[in-house]
Amino acid sequence: RKEVEQDPGPFNVPEGATVAFNCTYSNSASQSFFWYRQDCRKEPKLLMSVYSSGNEDGRFTAQLNRASQYISLLIRDSKLSDSATYLCVVTGDFGNEKLTFGTGTRLTIIP
Amino acid sequence: NAGVTQTPKFRILKIGQSMTLQCAQDMNHNYMYWYRQDPGMGLKLIYYSVGAGITDKGEVPNGYNVSRSTTEDFPLRLELAAPSQTSVYFCASTQAGAWKETQYFGPGTRLLVL
């Protein structure tokens, strides 16, 4: 089983629609979880951290289920500017500097 | 603040040549990292540093070397370039450790080894 597994897509979604991405991870000792966004030929940038209680930032909602080792990202009212690759990122246990990146889910918003 | 800067942006190397990828940050971050990203793959950690004078291997260190003589700079050295090192290289930094907080990435260096 891969350490971090994502559906690579591509997801082609009409503007205004809601889209959800999922990610599973294998290390039950992982402490922190993030969603990064990566535009074509650019560096990854933090989209949001993921907390056990769930968190929301505008149109974006992230959820963490530790029991199932599962992370999700929901994008509501999608915009053309949301087109990008979304990377699920999982840390190790306390003090472990190794981040594990998923291969990313590619999203294209269609006008 | 410029954040994390990387040079060069793009480089073509011949097999067996050597080069140094430069990385600098002006955020006074203690932790710095080098990653490589192959097409369709996730980022893989090459080396990291928790402070000046301290470096450690990541997941894929073979064929690379690093040094950290100052807080600001973290160069990555390729001694004998091989086609398998064709990739995009990202440098990143953070204040308190990757397991705790977000990393800030540089714009990347695209390397082609022929």
Task: Give me the mean pLDDT over the B26-35 stretch.
Answer: 93
Residues of B contacting chain A (CB within 8 angstroms): 31, 33, 40-45, 48, 50, 56, 58-59, 90, 97-103, 105-108
With CB atoms and an 8 Å threshold, state whether A32 touches B100. Answer: yes
Mean pLDDT, chain A, integer = 91
The yes-or-no verdict on residue A29 having pLDDT over 90 is no
Query: How many contiguous H segments (helices) and E segments (strands) does chain A have?
Result: 0, 11
Do the beta carbons of residue B58 and residue B40 sit within 8 Å? no
| pLDDT number for residue A41 | 87
Q: Which residue has the higher pLDDT, A94 or B41?
A: B41
Under the banding of pLDDT at 50, 70 and 90, the label for residue B99 is low
Residues of A contacting chain B (CB within 8 angstroms): 4, 8, 31-32, 34, 42-46, 49, 87, 91-104
Do the beta carbons of residue A84 and residue A20 sit within 8 Å? no
The yes-or-no verdict on residue B113 having pLDDT over 70 is yes
| pLDDT number for residue B100 | 66
Render pLDDT for B7-22 as a digit per residue (tens, 0 to 9). 999 999 999 999 999 9
The yes-or-no verdict on residue A17 having pLDDT over 70 is yes
Task: Kindly give, in sequence order, each residue whose CB lies less than 8 Å from that of residue A18, ignoring residues fewer than 6 positions away.
Answer: A74, A75, A76, A77, A78
| pLDDT number for residue B25 | 96
CA distance B84 to A92: 27
Amino acid (1-letter code) at residue A88? C
Minimal-distance CA residue of chain A relative to B93: A97
What is the distance in angstroms between the Cα of A99 and the nearest Cα belonging to chain B? 7
Tokens 């929301």, residue located: A56
Candidate from B41, B101, B105 with C-beta closest to A103:
B41
- Among A26, A90, A104, A97, smallest CA distance to B58 is for A97
What's the residue count for chain B?
Answer: 114
Please report the beta strands in chain B, taking only residues with DSSP state E, as ranges in sequence order. 4-7, 10-13, 19-25, 31-37, 43-51, 54-57, 64-66, 76-78, 87-94, 104-105, 109-113
CA distance B37 to A30: 22
Candidate from B40, B45, B106 with C-beta closest to A103:
B40
- What separation in angstroms does the CA of A3 have from each of A23, B12, B58? 10, 32, 15
Strands of the sheet with A60-65, listed across from one edge: A4-6, A19-25, A70-75, A60-65, A55-57
**Contact residues on chain B for A102, CB-CB shorter than 8 A:** 42
The yes-or-no verdict on residue A23 having pLDDT over 90 is yes
Render pLDDT for A41-83 as a digit per residue (tens, 0 to 9). 899 999 998 988 889 999 999 999 999 999 999 999 999 999 9
